[in-house]
Chains A and B, each alone.
Chain A
Amino acid sequence: MNIYEKSVKNILLSVGISLLLYATLIFVIDPIQQYRKASFYKPMFTNQRYLNPGLIKTYNYDTVIIGASETENFNPIYIDKQLDVKTLKLSIEGSNIFENELMLATAIKTGKVKKVIYSIDTFAFDKELASLKYSKLPLYLYDKSLLNDYKYLLNIDIFKKYFIKIILGNVFNKKKFIQPIEKFQYWGDKFQTRKQKLLIETDKLLSKYKIPNYDKKYYNNMINLFDTQMLTSIKDNQNIDYIFIFPPYLINFWIPTEKNHVQENIDFKKYIVTKLLKLQNVKIYDFQDVEDIVYDFNNYQGITHYKPSINKYMIDCIKKDKYRLNSIKRIYNFYKSLINKDSIESNLKRYN
């Protein structure tokens, strides 16, 4: 064997051994709990798109929460107590409909899910957001195949963003890295009302108040996504109870201007509700017309981001069956109040 042959063999062998050692380390510690629930250390909960599929596989639950960032302040312990369930929160910040549905389908496949609490954002069906499809998700974590797990086991960022912090949290007692699971992406502690800023935005929106031309294509695209991505899966899982929530957005969300699609969103909501009300395994709770909430700017940090006590309130309402939506009449009435600029202004005065 000449020196070059020996060198080549040494290179290949060293690279192979180094990668194998690294992968073994990640497999044993399993920082995002893909293979087993963390037992000999306190895990780190961050970045839902990476962590949720592991929690789905390795945690015990019978209820899941699906939705975007406005569901992040739901406290699973509170829900467990109020609704007598075992909850796993599977929120994804900035999610689109494809991501929400894949997350839910992955959970349903485990056979653990009996109840789904699903916060519907009509804008998750928006053409632009939905066009991202699964592009932000590490799809190799969402299947059962072990063949593609090298993408997890040979990934430097898992080491930098999780492994090191788990060490810092467990060995060096840096508490901020090892929060309990109920604090996973919980931002309620940091909630700050931005009333003044939001009121200025309201004035701007009202000055541009206009009911624009109807965008039929936009609407059709949304209903098509609903039918193909969401409705069939609800129909296919008759044994699962679905609780749908229309979360309370600040009134600004609904002020029509040239640039938004308020009419189409309302019509889409009517379409969803009409379809869902026909199903036995579905209950819908609508908080979008609760004037005490949506006109009170103290409740909001951003248009779709409300304070954590509202999350609690919604769970209480579900328990008491309050604000249950039984017909689309309520949506009509709400819309009527919007197409009248004066009624918006008078409500604003009343609540602020």
Chain B
Amino acid sequence: MLFNSYEFIFLFLPLVFTGYFYLNSIKKLTASKLFLVIASLFFYSWWNINYLPLMLGSIFINYVISSKLSDKEFDKLLKKQLFIFGLVLNISFLAYFKYMDFFIDNINFIFRTDIEFLHLALPLAISFFTLQQVAFLVDSYQGIVKKSKFLDYILFVIFFPQLIAGPIVHHKSIIPQFESKRNKFINYKNIYIGLFIFSLGLFKKVFIADTFAIWANNGFDVLPHLTLIQSWMTSLSYSLELYFDFSGYTDMAIGIALLFNIKIPVNFNSPFKSKNIIEFWTKWHITLSNFINAYVYTPILKSFKKFTFKNALITSFITMLIIGLWHGASWMFVLYGALHGAGIVINHLWKRHGFKLHKIVAIFLTFNFVNITFIFFRAHDMSDAFKVLGGMFNLSELGNLNDIFLLYPHSERLDQYIFLIMFVISFVTIFTFHNSMELSKNLKPTIYNISLIVLFFVVSILHLNRVSEFIYFNF
């Protein structure tokens, strides 16, 4: 089920909210958790129930292993073996479903073989629930996890607001919140703030990101050749789409969780205001960075015999390759990771030599670097990527305003002007405004704020289902 759907907003969410707090109000605390688990399973199965046994299997096996690992009486050597087994199992699970065809493709290419693809459907949210469980497994092995009940564990993994695309939550911060007695009562302040964040996220996704998607898709996938102005509009539209789409989704997740008095971590903190690439990764997809830092970067660095600047740089680069590959089974993602890895390495060297830039120049350079790397993130192959990237620096073909409108075909002039205004406003907003999390911190129940929330909701709901135009006359 999508957050931005009628069935979620008008049926699922109100029913789950009412059911959960009703069970809490009559002191059926275990039943209320069970209710949330069942609701989350339903939410997950709405897409495709076939994936459900896989996810439940993964959860069950991880729980059994983690329980053994956190058992203090368990033999140390056996514990180590079991831990390695658990890790290998999770990585294999992810590798099999997500990367097998990519692997076969490369084998076929290198050895000129003709092994058939498996064409496995990627189980939804596999990258997210696997990461959360790996963290739990590692912490269980290190003895920093108290033994949890199965119900608490499964709820931590599948609590529906964060299940599909994060934020990647950590058991330390989530399980205690479900335990807290205070969180069992309806809290109107949380609901008010939750509604604000949810409505803003919904607005970002359905009104802003989905509009930029039209331009980005046409530039990347449809037009065979782009002028300079079209290329810039395409790549910038995609950067805006990606940011508003993902941060919008995250806002919705945070807002919904808050309705249930659960605080899930911030995932974006105005990333485009970053002054360098290291800072960017502390503000973009923060929960992924934190996970990777704790469970990938640090262990790799520790595996070196000596902690040196050079080793740290190598580790950073490898880590970024892994981040790239985590996003999807394609060399384009690996390249995206490599570019960011190189960016981080250069950034560290730069810092070490004490170079400094003016704040505005630094933000400008960082944004442009990120914008260019997103081309590789979005393009299906190198020729698509170079079509856009090459166009951005093709001074011999500048193009004009009408070229921009070609990115939004079959639309009316009014829509196109609205888009251009939206483009400018979005840019001003991401560089100068407070982000949704900053705004929500001091959100007062004023008429102005209430009107804004109502406006976000109404406009977004009217945009959930749009008329698609299909012009066929290709004479």
Bound together, the chains give a CA A304 to CA B454 distance in angstroms of 50
Partner of B195, one of A8, A49, A159, A194: A8
Question: A34 CB to closest chain B CB, in angstroms?
Answer: 13
The CA-CA distance from A158 to B462 in the complex, in Å, is 10
With A4-B192, A154-B465 given, is the CB distance from A18 to B470 under 8 Å?
no
Sorted nearest first, the 7 A-B pairs with minimum C-beta distance are: A94-B472, A157-B467, A4-B188, A7-B445, A156-B462, A93-B472, A5-B188
On A, residues with C-beta under 8 Å from B are: 2-8, 10-11, 14-15, 18-19, 22, 47, 49-50, 68-69, 93-94, 136, 138, 150-151, 154-161, 187, 194, 301-302, 305
How many Å lie between the Cα of A281 and that of B475 in the bound state?
35
A156 touches B466 (CB 8 A): yes
* Interface contact A155-B466, CB-CB below 8 Å: yes
B463 on interface, CB distance cutoff 8 Å: yes
Task: State the main secondary structure of chain A at its contact with B.
Answer: helix
Min Cβ gap A26→B in Å is 10
B450→A14 contact, CB < 8 A: yes
Out of B454, B464, B470, B472, name the residue touching A11 (CB < 8 Å).
Answer: B454
The answer to whether residues A11 and B469 also contact, given A2-B188, A4-B189, A156-B462 and a CB cut-off of 8 A, is no
- From known contacts A4-B191, A4-B192, A18-B454, infer whether A154 and B473 are also in contact, taking CB-CB under 8 Å: no
Chain B interface size, under 10 / 10 to 19 / 20 to 34 / 35 or more: 20 to 34
In angstroms, how far is the closest chain B Cβ from the Cβ of A165? 10
For B475, give its contact among A94, A136, A302 (CB under 8 Å).
A302
Q: Among A3, A22, A155, point to the contact of B445 (Cβ < 8 A).
A: A3
Contacts of B189 in A (CB 8 A): 4
Contact A69 B466 (CB under 8 A): no
Roughly how many angstroms separate A269 CA and B53 CA in the complex, as a whole number?
Answer: 47
Chain A residue at minimal CB-CB distance from B449: A7
A151 cross-chain contacts in B, Cβ below 8 A: 6, 465
A/B interface sample: 25 pairs, CB < 8 A: A3-B445, A4-B189, A4-B445, A7-B188, A7-B450, A8-B188, A10-B450, A11-B450, A14-B454, A15-B454, A15-B458, A22-B462, A47-B467, A49-B470, A93-B470, A93-B473, A136-B468, A150-B6, A154-B465, A156-B462, A156-B466, A157-B466, A160-B415, A194-B475, A302-B474
How far is it, in angstroms, between the C-alpha of A159 and the C-alpha of B463 when the chains are bound? 11
Give B180-218 as 1s and 0s: 1 = Cβ < 8 Å from A's Cβ atoms: 000000001101100100000000000000000000000
Hey, which chain A residues are within 8 Å of B192, CB to CB? 4, 7-8, 11
Q: How far is the CA of A13 from the CA of B415 in the complex (A)?
A: 31
In the complex, whether B453 has a CB less than 8 A from a CB of chain A is yes
In the complex, how many angstroms separate the beta carbon of A265 from the nearest chain B beta carbon? Answer: 20
How many Å lie between the Cα of A9 and that of B463 in the bound state?
A: 23
Which residues on A sit within 8 Å (CB–CB) of B453? 11
Closest to A151 in B: B465
CB of B461 within 8 A of chain A? yes
Q: How far is the CB of B212 from chain A (nearest CB, A)?
A: 17
* Cα distance A10–B188 in the bound complex, in angstroms: 12
A307 to B61, CA, bound (A): 68
Residue of B450, B461, B463, B466 touching A19 (CB-CB under 8 A): B461
Taking a contact as CB atoms under 8 Å apart, the answer to whether A155 and B188 are in contact is: no
Q: By the criterion CB–CB under 8 Å, are A19 and B458 in contact?
A: yes
- Cross-chain contact B470 with A94 (CB below 8 angstroms): yes
Distance of A301 Cα from B195 Cα, bound (Å): 55
Q: What's the Cα separation between A187 and B458 when bound, in Å?
A: 37
In the assembled complex, the CB of B16 is this many whole angstroms from the nearest CB of chain A, namely 16
Expressed in whole angstroms, the minimum distance between the Cβ of B136 and any Cβ of chain A is 35
Instruction: Give complex CA distance A231, B462 in Å.
Output: 40
Give the contacts of B419-444 with A (CB-CB under 8 A).
none
Query: Complex Cα distance A18/B457, Å?
Result: 10
- Kindly report which residue of chain B lies nearest to residue A161, judged by CB atoms: B467
Question: What chain A residues lie within 8 Å of B445 (beta carbons)?
Answer: 3-4, 6-7
Residues of chain A with a CB closer than 8 A to B463's CB: 156
- Besides A7-B445, A150-B6, 16 more A-B contacts (Cβ < 8 Å) are A4-B189, A4-B191, A4-B192, A4-B445, A8-B188, A8-B192, A11-B192, A11-B195, A15-B454, A47-B469, A151-B6, A154-B464, A155-B465, A156-B466, A302-B475, A305-B475
Q: What are the residues of chain B within 8 A of A10 when measuring CB–CB? A: 450
Within the complex, the shortest CB–CB distance from A345 to chain B, in Å, comes to: 25
Please, how many angstroms separate the alpha-carbon atoms of A69 and B461 in the complex? 33
| B6 engages A15 (CB within 8 Å) | no
Give CA–CA (A147, B462) in the complex, Å: 17
Q: A70: shortest Cβ distance to chain B, in Å?
A: 11
Cα of A161 to Cα of B467 in the assembled complex, Å: 9
User: How many Å from the CB of B241 to the closest CB on chain A?
Assistant: 19
Contacts of A47 in B (CB 8 A): 467, 469
A159 to B415, CA, bound (A): 13
Measured between beta carbons, the chain B residues less than 8 angstroms from A156 are: 459, 462-463, 466
Tell me the minimal C-beta distance from A249 to chain B in angstroms.
14
The CA-CA distance from A199 to B202 in the complex, in Å, is 52
Q: Which residues of A contact B6 (CB under 8 A)?
A: 150-151, 154
Task: For the complex, give the distance between the alpha carbons of A155 and B462 in Å.
Answer: 5
Q: How far is the CA of A94 from the CA of B410 in the complex (A)?
A: 15
> What is the chain B residue whose CB lies nearest that of A15?
B457
**Which residue of B464, B467, B473 is within 8 Å of A69 (Cβ)?**
B473
- Give the one of A4, A47, A136, A301 with max B CB within 10 A: A4
* A155 and B467 contacting across the interface, CB-CB below 8 Å: yes
A106 to B441, CA, bound (A): 53
Chain B residues with CB under 8 Å of A138's CB are: 467
**Within the assembled complex, what's the spacing in Å between the Cα atoms of A158 and B475?**
28
Q: Please, which residue of chain B has its CB at the minimum distance from the CB of A152?
A: B465
**Are B191 and A8 within 8 A (Cβ)?**
yes
Chain B residues with CB under 8 Å of A15's CB are: 454, 457-458, 461
Bound complex: CA of A151 vs CA of B472, how far in Å?
Answer: 24
- Bound: A311/B316 CA distance, A: 69
Residues on the A chain within 8 Å of B475, using CB: 194, 301-302, 305
Of the listed residues B188, B468, B475, the one surrounded by the most CB atoms of chain A closer than 10 A to its CB is B475
CA distance A305 to B191 in the complex (A): 58
Contacts of A187 in B (CB 8 A): 473
